[in-house]
Structure 1
Amino acid sequence: MNNIEYMKELSERLKAYYNVSFDISLKDRKFEMFAKFNNRTSRYVLMKKSEIYAFENNEFIFYKNVEKLSKEDLFEIKDFVQKNIEHIVKVNDEHMSSTITFIFCGNIILDKETIKAIQGFRYYKSFLWGIKGWVNVKFIFVNPETWDIYTNKYGEGDRKKFLFCI
């Protein structure tokens, strides 16, 4: 399976729950696919107009095909998130948590230093000491030819979700 086939299969699987769009740009970065999921939960008394509270959880998936990936690229992604967090996550009174997932896909073999950097990749940010929610970042690299997948610790639970052909 090549990168394009993987992206098409992934987008078809995501369309059931996510709003999927292709070829998007955010600031100076281009991504082949972007998917967004929003879950809003509320509690009310008798009528929906009488809400007691509400909270929302969001997930954003950025997909990019790559021909090379290095440790420096991960630093650039972290810097990109730090500079653009307010453009990705819309924090309001109902925001509880958001997850940003970066999927890099390529038919390349990664060196041990890059694999270690992926596994050690961490990004967490709280808004107003957690009162207005928080953001975590997952980083996932997939090689659809060899079916190698490397994730950071926060992305470990999504291994099967993004490696669906095995």
Structure 2
Amino acid sequence: MPDSSEDSDPGRDLCLDALARGCEAARFDVRRLREAPSLRMTAVFHQRSERYALIRKATLWAAETHEYLYAYAPSDLDSALWRAILDDVLARGLAAIRPHDEHMTSYISAVLLCRSWHADAADAVRRARFVRSFRWGLRGWARLRTIAVRLPDAEQASAACVCNASARNALLPLIRSALSPLFTL
């Protein structure tokens, strides 16, 4: 799906570099790559919390939280491309999740950096929902976070973004801080 014009966009490459630095500052393990359909970066975050009594072998409880972030850079986001990206993100994210007794939550995050979007695709990003529980929630659950950022160009002075409800409190601040020069007040 990517075309040759996507490979030579220095603005998106700078935004991907800024996003990679922001993810690394938030303690993600970042990997840059080029795959279809326009996948440019993956970032993985793992956190483990536990409580124990007196000695470490006497663990009272333990919980693990994971986030699998996939950054795409399509030039124009339409509904068909969004559906293909969503299917790809869910397939990659669900393949990475390993539910077990101490697994609590895994977030599968899709970040799209695009030059333009169709209104129906932006609305589909905003309405995207996916939740899956593993063994009725006893082995945790997975949730989808989606955000699309329309990068500024000659016609637009500031970047615009749309995100679903689960991305609003956690992923949106990360994106805004990483790409802060693009967002004007």
TM-score (norm 1): 0.87
- What residue in structure 2 maps to residue 125 of structure 1? 132
- For residues 127-151 of structure 1, the C-alpha deviation after alignment (integer angstroms, 9 at most, x for no partner) is 1111111111111111232411111
- What residue in structure 1 maps to residue 167 of structure 2? 155
Residue 92 of structure 1 deviates from its aligned partner by 1.6
State the superposition RMSD in angstroms. 2.1
Aligned-residue identity in percent: 21
From the superposition, tell whether residues 82 and 7 of structure 1 become closer, same or farther in structure 2 (CA, over 3 Å): closer
Instruction: List runs of 5+ in structure 1 lacking aligned partners.
Output: none
Contact 1:24 1:34 in 2 (8 A): no
- For residues 57-110 of structure 1, the C-alpha deviation after alignment (integer angstroms, 9 at most, x for no partner) is 0111101111221222333234335544542212122100011111011112x2
**1:41 pairs with one of 45, 49, 59:** 49
Structure 2 residue identity aligned to 1:11: A
- What residue in structure 2 maps to residue 5 of structure 1? 14
TM-score (norm 2): 0.79
Residue 31 of structure 1 deviates from its aligned partner by 2.3
**2:119 pairs with one of 98, 112, 117:** 112
- What residue in structure 2 maps to residue 137 of structure 1? 144
The answer to whether the aligner puts 1:14 opposite 2:26 as a matched pair is: no
Residue 33 of structure 1 deviates from its aligned partner by 1.0
Of Structure 1 and Structure 2, which has the larger fraction of its residues in helix?
A: 2
Instruction: List runs of 5+ in structure 2 lacking aligned partners.
Output: 1-9, 153-157
Aligned residues: 163
Equivalent residue runs for 1:40-119 within 5 Å: 40-108=48-116, 110-119=117-126
